[in-house]
Amino acid sequence: MTLLSNPVSPLLEDSKPAAADPALLVERARRGDRAAFEGLYRSHVGRVNALCLRLTASVERAEELTQEVFVRAFTAISSFDGGASLATWLHRIAVNAVFGERRSRSRRDRHVVAVSDLELLDRTVPKVTYPGSDLDLERGIAGLPERARTVFVLHDVEGYAHHEIAEMTGMAEGTSKAQLHRARNLLRKALRR
Amino acid sequence: MSCTWVDEHLDDGLDGALPADEARRLAAHLEDCADCRRISEELRSLRRRAAALPKVLEPRRDLWPEIEARLPSPRVREGRWRRWSTSNRLERWAAVLIFALAGFALLRQGSSPAASGTDFEAVLLGARQELLEERMVLAQASSLPLNRSLVDEQLEVLEEAIRQIRRALDEDPGNPRLEQALIASYRKQLELLQIALRLSPAPRDLPEAELQRRQKNERV
């Protein structure tokens, strides 16, 4: 391919949103095919939104972050090497986006109140409603402190191992285990009530 | 074995992360301790419920229109790619020039005039070929601002000066003043290329893997 050839336009001619082979969609998306990327969006938006929703406990923030995830993914799709699944790769972007948004919010909201974990659970009013049957657990997760919620969702809900969580979040593996222990104990007590 | 130890290791035990001997000790304690057994059963139930939660939760509305509106346009991506590719070639050409200048200085220190002239010729020929290729790229990259064209004009003038100096060196080989003038001209070209590089910064949002992939494509 010469420098001056157009790497983009010839490939747009055969674009259509498609429920095609995921590997083919990824390859086309790498070359800037928006229709192919839309196909990837439609097949993965539910998974990304679910993670964002549980990590943020807010429908509005989850939808904003889900958009952010796919915008970032479009820009970075060429760096996706297929080593992990596309869903895992999108989840990594989602965790980064959530953490970035949390940092921005914490800089804006400097009012800090020291409360015990159980008080946090009691006072938090989850702003989400979920389909499915286990609303008690979903509400309990939404009421967890942020770091404990993050680890619980990634480990017990999504099935990531502690070393993967450490890599995604930047926390030490020991910290991940400690936060999981904290989350499980809080939930166990909350669900008993 | 104490209940405190069990409390600290129960999570790992449930996740299958304990060494075999510790897992056996944990199991033995749970058989004898009703409180710890109850906690263990609650945690097992919690893990089952968490694993059974839906992994897919669709947003309330279709987010694609808003996402698509935020995606960079193909023309913008192409322009960025061209500017990246151009600046990457400029960097490589600048590195070749630096190498050529250093090589010439080294050759002059120890070699015979004839041998140094031949070796230097080969190095300079490579550098000049890179320069010509890069100037063609600059000329055809129409998205570049006007001041890049000005730099290009200056490069052409220098190129002509270098040609004249080299013709003079052919007639008077080894002339130190001509050699110094040639070196000065190449240094000036290097400065101009560095200016050109500053005028076309590489996009900061391209990850390293993408830079490497496009570099690989350039060599194809």
Whether ipTM tops 0.85, in short, is no
Q: What is the pTM of this model?
A: 0.59
**Residue B33 pLDDT more than 80?**
yes
Could you tell me the maximum CA-CA distance found in chain B, to the nearest angstrom? 103
CA atoms of B149 and B142, how far apart (whole Å): 10
For residue B53, the chain A residue with the least C-alpha distance is A157
Q: Which of B53, B63, B205 sits opposite A157 (nearest CB)?
A: B53
Tokens 């007590």 found at: A189
Considering only CA atoms, which of B193, B190, B152, B185 is closest in space to residue B166?
B185
Mean pLDDT on B134-141? 51
Q: Which of residues 122-141 of A touch B (CB under 8 A)?
A: 130-132, 134, 137-138
- Interface A-B, measured as beta-carbon pairs within 8 A, has a size of 120
Residue B220 and residue A1: Cβ atoms within 8 Å? yes
The backbone region for A15, taken as left when phi is positive above 0, alpha when psi lies in -120 to 50, beta otherwise, is: beta
Residue B58 and residue A137: Cβ atoms within 8 Å? no
CA atoms of A69 and B70, how far apart (whole Å): 12
Q: Is the dihedral of CA B48, A153, B63, A94 positive or negative?
A: negative
pLDDT computed for residue A160 by the predictor: 96
Which residues in chain A are contacts of B11 at CB distance < 8 A? 177, 180-181, 184
pLDDT digits (tens, 9 = 90+) for B34-51: 999 999 999 999 999 999
Which residues in chain B are contacts of A63 at CB distance < 8 A? 59-61, 63
CA atoms of A25 and B37, how far apart (whole Å): 49
Considering only CA atoms, which of B113, B36, B83, B74 is closest in space to residue A34?
B74
Q: Which of A89, A156, A187 to probe the B interface (max B CBs under 10 A)?
A: A156
pLDDT computed for residue A43 by the predictor: 95
User: Which tops the pLDDT comparison, B206 or A107?
Assistant: A107
CB atoms within 10 A of CB A80: 17
CA atoms of A76 and B207, how far apart (whole Å): 7
User: Which tops the pLDDT comparison, A111 or A66?
Assistant: A66
Mean pLDDT on B192-211? 63
**Residue B216 pLDDT more than 60?**
yes
**Residue A11 pLDDT more than 50?**
no
Instruction: Give the pLDDT band (50/70/90) at residue B219.
Output: low
HSE (side-chain half, CA atoms, 13 Å) at B135: 18
Q: Which of B41, B67, B71 to probe the A interface (max A CBs under 10 A)?
A: B67
Mean pLDDT on A61-73? 96
Residue A188 and residue B140: Cβ atoms within 8 Å? no
CA distance A69 to chain B (A): 9
Which residues in chain A are contacts of B65 at CB distance < 8 A? none
Mean pLDDT on A62-67? 96
**Residue A28 pLDDT more than 50?**
yes
Residue A164 touches chain B, beta carbons under 8 Å:
no
pLDDT computed for residue A7 by the predictor: 41
CA distance B86 to chain A (A): 8
Q: Which of residues 15-74 of A touch B (CB under 8 A)?
A: 32, 34, 37-38, 41-42, 45-47, 49-50, 53, 59, 62-63, 66-67, 70-71, 74
Answer yes or no: are the C-beta atoms of A46 and A70 closer than 8 Å: no
Is residue B95 classed as helix, strand or coil in its secondary structure? helix
Answer yes or no: are the C-beta atoms of B194 and B204 closer than 8 Å: no
Q: Which of B43, B50, B213 sits opposite A157 (nearest CB)?
A: B50
Residue B86 and residue A50: Cβ atoms within 8 Å? no
CA atoms of A149 and B138, how far apart (whole Å): 53
CA distance A16 to chain B (A): 14
Which residues in chain B are contacts of A78 at CB distance < 8 A? 207, 209-210, 213
Instruction: Give the pLDDT band (50/70/90) at residue A9.
Output: very low
Is residue B94 classed as helix, strand or coil in its secondary structure? helix
CA atoms of A46 and B56, how far apart (whole Å): 5
CA atoms of B10 and B40, how far apart (whole Å): 7
Mean pLDDT on A151-178? 96
pLDDT digits (tens, 9 = 90+) for B141-191: 444 444 566 677 778 878 888 888 888 787 777 787 788 888 888 888 888
CB atoms within 10 A of CB A33: 21
If you ran DSSP here, which 8-state letter would residue B186 be given? H
A156, A162, A164, A167 alpha-carbon torsion, rounded to 10° = 130
Which residues in chain B are contacts of A12 at CB distance < 8 A? 74
Considering only CA atoms, which of B38, B35, B34, B43 is closest in space to residue B11?
B43
